[in-house]
């Protein structure tokens, strides 16, 4: 094991026992080697996430890295500015009042009405994906369903055909490269920056087209919301701001949604009695979706920066210190949830979970992610019976500090009887 357990791949694969130790004995713990202050109790996170004056979101992930990572990050930004448009702080790396305008715009894009209008398309995509593997009575769930579903949903919203999912994933992977530590050398850095610039030029053309010929997609909604703000006296969004908002929608609405869908399927394979409850009463699928998010949060933790000296649980945290708020630990806090390590699709008050954050920076795309998760399992459970892991294949996890993610999830099933 490494000096810091949270950096150990074995702990990342199953961190929940370690979370118990931290919550009980070290609710505020300074990580060796990084200097981050790790927080794991539900009420502490709730207070921190709702107080952006004291706990700022303006820090850059590159601040948390070593000199080499900062150097390659600067090269990435330089190349992006030369080939496309530079990253600017919008939703991430900003606090109210600057953050408030961007949030207001995106709330209009992800309105409940708009998400409901997308349901028939999500159902259609789910059934097309299931059609492709249902006769085989087995599937590698990550690559054959969990990743394609949100990828195709967003691709179609960007004007890409479902057949262009490979292009979309290439763009999304490049956009996520800095956060996922893929800028390993100068060649890789320039490659990923060039791919993101390619995506930016495509999006710029779509922005312009939607101004003159709006459709029902998310970009049209963003353009319309921006124009409405201008009519009310706000300055127009710059192209770098538009690009950054779309970059966050693409990356936030893709990888983590796919991870949530995969984790939910894994939980069903481990809890067949819960699957039978859902089969008997599909109206419980919404609660199941929230419970799976609580049990295995796709984003296990993010960061905040202290704006002043503070003291928590007897630990002095100086101004400028980085706090690592661990959502996955708060979701298993027995002070917030009864019997928190038990997967229970009938759980009451489950929507109190932290998996989408809380406060002003709560995930703006949560309504769409929730709908995709619910619709996915409405269709999967209607069409597949006897869900189980494939005993002849390995389940593989992707290690990482921030994300709970599966690399492979091979499953078997029987086609549902009419």
Q: For the segment 157-212, what is each residue's pLDDT rounded down to a tens digit? A: 888 887 888 888 899 999 988 877 788 899 999 999 999 999 999 999 999 999 99
Residues 6+ apart with CB under 8 A from 334: 340
DSSP state of 117: H
Structure tokens at 58: 């303006």
Distance in angstroms (rounded) separating the CA atoms of residues 138 and 407: 17
Is 111's pLDDT higher than 90? no
pLDDT at residue 65, as a whole number: 67
pLDDT the model gives residue 159: 82
Predicted TM-score (pTM) of the model is: 0.94
Give tens-digit pLDDT for 4-29: 899 899 999 999 999 999 999 999 99
- Structure confidence at residue 160 (pLDDT): 81
| Nearest Cα to Cα of residue 313 among 30, 15, 16, 3 | 30
Give me the DSSP letters along 125-173: HHHHHHHHHGGGTEEEHIIIIITHHHHHHHHHHTT--GGGHHHHHHHHH
If we measure between CA atoms, which residue out of 355, 381, 359, 372 comes closest to residue 290? 355
- CA dist list (Å): 75 to 183, 187, 194, 300: 10, 10, 12, 29
Instruction: Report the run of H or E that residue 120 belongs to, with start and end.
Output: helix 112-133
pLDDT of residue 41: 98
Per-range mean pLDDT, top range of 29-33, 44-48, 92-96: 44-48
Question: Which of 166, 133, 130 shows the shortest CA–CA distance to 151?
Answer: 166
Distance CA 180, CA 403 (A): 10
């Amino acid at each position: 094991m490494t000096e810091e357990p949270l950096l150990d791949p074995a702990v990342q694969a199953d961190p929940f026992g370690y979370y118990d130790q931290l919550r009980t004995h070290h609710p505020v713990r300074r990580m060796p080697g990084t200097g981050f202050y790790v927080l794991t109790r539900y009420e502490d996170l709730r207070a921190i996430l709702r107080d952006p004056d004291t706990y700022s979101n303006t820090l850059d992930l590159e601040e948390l890295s070593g000199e080499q990572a900062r150097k390659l990050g600067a090269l990435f930004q330089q190349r992006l500015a030369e080939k496309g448009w530079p990253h600017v702080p919008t939703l991430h790396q900003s606090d109210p009042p600057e953050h408030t305008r961007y949030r207001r715009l995106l709330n209009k894009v992800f309105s409940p009405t708009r998400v409901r209008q997308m349901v028939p398309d999500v159902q259609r995509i789910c059934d097309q994906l299931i059609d492709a593997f249902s006769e085989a009575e087995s599937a590698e769930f990550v690559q054959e369903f969990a990743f394609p579903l949100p990828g195709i949903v967003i691709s179609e919203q960007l004007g890409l055909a479902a057949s262009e999912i490979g292009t979309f994933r290439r763009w999304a992977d490049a956009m996520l490269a800095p956060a996922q530590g893929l800028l390993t050398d100068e060649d890789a850095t320039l490659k990923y920056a060039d791919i993101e610039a390619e995506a930016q030029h495509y999006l710029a053309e779509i922005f312009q087209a939607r101004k003159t010929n709006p459709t029902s997609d998310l970009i049209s909604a963003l353009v319309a919301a921006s124009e409405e703000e201008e009519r009310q006296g706000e300055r127009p969004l710059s192209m770098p701001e538009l690009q950054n908002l779309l970059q966050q929608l693409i990356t936030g609405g893709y990888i983590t949604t796919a991870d949530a869908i995969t984790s939910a399927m894994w939980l069903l394979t481990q809890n067949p009695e819960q699957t039978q409850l859902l089969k008997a009463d599909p109206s419980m699928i919404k609660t199941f979706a929230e419970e799976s998010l609580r049990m295995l949060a796709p984003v296990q933790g993010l960061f905040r920066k202290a704006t002043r000296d503070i003291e928590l649980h007897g630990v002095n945290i100086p101004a400028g210190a980085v706090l690592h708020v661990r959502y996955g630990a708060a979701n298993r806090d027995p002070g917030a949830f009864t019997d928190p390590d038990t997967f229970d699709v009938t759980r009451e008050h489950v929507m109190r979970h932290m998996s989408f954050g809380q406060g002003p920076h709560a995930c703006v795309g949560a309504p769409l992610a929730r709908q995709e998760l619910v619709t996915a399992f409405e269709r999967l459970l209607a069409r597949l019976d006897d869900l189980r892991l494939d005993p002849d294949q390995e389940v593989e996890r992707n290690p990482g500090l921030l994300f709970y993610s599966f690399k492979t999830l091979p499953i078997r099933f029987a086609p549902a009887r009419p």
